Amino acid sequence: MLRTNLSIVSETMMHDLGMNEYHLGMVFSAFAAGYAIFQFPGGIFGDRFGPRFTITAIAIAWALLTIVTAVIPGTDVLSVGAIVAALIVTRFLVGAVHAPFFPVTIGGTIASWFPVRQWGCRTVCRVPA
């Protein structure tokens, strides 16, 4: 269940868990909020610990949070509000964990594959020509 796969099961989820479109929208938005808030700090984390460690940590945390998403109990154990709250928190965390992936992979690619003299920010980066 990657970041967009929740939309595939959304109709069944709404029916099984007693959710409505508003609840589902909150769950979907939680991913985007976590992703947006943690992209910059995630890039700093990747710079600090390196791309190999960061991507490994992302993969492990993402897998664990996917399992957590799958084991959130149904209406026989929790109320609809508690289920929605648990899904919102979990999806927010999935977004936060996924956020560093883009800056780490792209930043690492540019730094590793392109010499500094070919970067487009010579004046701003103060790189000698």
pLDDT of residue 15: 84
Q: What is the pLDDT of residues 76-124, one digit of tens each?
A: 899 999 999 999 999 999 999 999 998 888 877 777 777 766 666 655 5
- Say if residue 1's pLDDT is above 50: no
CA angle 71, 30, 43 (to 5 degrees): 105
Confidence tier at 12 by pLDDT (50, 70, 90): confident
